[in-house]
Chain A
């Protein structure tokens, strides 16, 4: 099928038809849409394929190398020794600490995000709805470091939170909490609790948006039918709304879980000196110069997220994204 066959040459064109090279090229694109498609896809695919996938493969390759403990040089022979190093007690400790933190952060995000998402999805209307949307989008997009810095200000020993609790005569509560093992420390800004709060704060919008989207898709007549059949509001929530919102929660948890697994800035600025996976990667590739071990460490979140995504897909979370 050619252009000439469908349009007689005498047909008046609204725009002057272009001749020469450009015209020939336009004709070629029309006759061979596959050619145009390949031409359009080539630049982005080449870029992402070479820059991104290429780098990822280079990284994965290096995780099979090992480091010579005496010379500190990288031994380029394929070995699983580096992966074996991951199971040393110290490294295993880092992995478990990070995964536990990611799980706790995810649970807390659900608890804080759900009321906001629920209100925005089922009660906010018109102007309020737009306002709610912006109120979630602005913190999502505003600077990550500034948000972390804000918590450094808040959680500092001389900061606003200590002052507020003292004003409320709750200083003893803070002191008691800080005296606890694992979660405590000399002040909130150098405790695991501080790290946890900062994580929840920074990833919260990633949880609100998918949960809100899932709740908005629940038809109201289901809720009505449930109460018509005699369910109390609590029962309706537990047996109708919550199961239908679950794919949204799982979708949000993909973000909160994955982002916590890979982050190394927050625990570095707010928290104890105990390492997280991200910090271990950074330390191994930087000061220690042990790129194979750093590469092996990055495989851990990739594998965990792989399983997580597989489970999430089975729960239908991707439709809620």
Chain B
């Protein structure tokens, strides 16, 4: 244990840490404030007035709904694929030692370790070489690829803490491979998979860099926002959508944290 646990931190450190945390959080809070502004053309501060009308306007925008629906469908399918591939891979890596095991970990992490633009343009050029037209599935292809790592990280961390003797005991008691998986392995890793799935969903829902290369003319929510940021048409609607996006990604993350909070390693270590 640490001896400095009863010591309080020096004042400059406290101030620096507090300022750092404020720097991290105030900008996001500001998004919530701006969703209520009456100003349409500029980002004027202080806000000239408060209104709820933009929520109604946003609600009636078909383009926002179309983008939202596309994003949710892409995120759901990508998460499903990532769950299957990530679980298989993590189970294989953690249950046995074999030649090339390290290489597989690297391969899974690579799509997220290299800058997104490389993944994006690589996929784009591959599509154009293979004459694959842009569609729903080209977006999913990209998203599932970098979502695997999140599921993989969570599942590997859980497998590491699950003792192998339980599986052996299950076999000793006469269960076959499928029964062991259904009754022993799955209950053990279920919450880790759920957490990984939540994070994968949040990651996919929010992804913009790879998506700009694989979406063609289709608009996911981040693409819609990017368009609005580059060529603003209706700023108040963007404000409201930004607020909704924060809330939509916040809930899965909090839930994932809740599911794995006793773990030694939570979630992936990066996007």
Contact = CB atoms under 8 A, between A and B. Distances in A.
Given A201-B27, A298-B118, 19 more contacts: A14-B175, A18-B178, A18-B179, A22-B176, A36-B177, A43-B84, A48-B145, A52-B119, A53-B107, A55-B125, A119-B13, A134-B254, A140-B271, A145-B229, A147-B28, A150-B30, A264-B209, A278-B117, A298-B121
A118 B185 CA distance: 38
A37 B96 CA distance: 8
Nearest to A27: B176
Contact of B115 (A36, A40, A115, A301): A301
9 contacts: A47-B148, A48-B85, A53-B107, A123-B8, A153-B34, A163-B46, A265-B208, A265-B209, A282-B212
A54 B132 CA distance: 14
Contacts of B267: 137, 141
B21 A23 contact: no
Given A52-B145, A205-B24, A145 B226 contact: yes
Those 10 A-B pairs whose CB atoms lie nearest each other, nearest first: A262-B115, A13-B174, A115-B16, A26-B176, A150-B27, A55-B122, A55-B126, A119-B17, A44-B89, A156-B43
A230 interface: no
Interface in B130-156: 141, 144-145, 148
Interface residues of A, number: 104
Interface in A204-238: 204-206, 209-210, 220, 223-224
Contact of A261 (B8, B30, B111, B115): B115
Main secondary structure on A side of the interface with B:
helix
Interface in B8-38: 8-9, 13-14, 16-17, 20-21, 23-25, 27-28, 30-31, 34
Contacts of A54: 126
Given A56-B122, A139-B25, A158 B42 contact: yes
Given A58-B125, A206-B270, A145 B2 contact: no
Interface string B84-119: 111011011001101000001001101101111111
B178 A47 contact: no
B89 A285 contact: no
Contacts, number: 285
Contacts of B110: 52
Interface string A120-148: 10110100001001111111111111111
Contacts of B215: none
A152 B43 contact: yes
Contacts of A18: 176, 178-179
Contact of A148 (B8, B125, B229): B229
B159 interface: no
Contact of B98 (A17, A37, A56, A156): A37
Contacts of A139: 24-25, 28
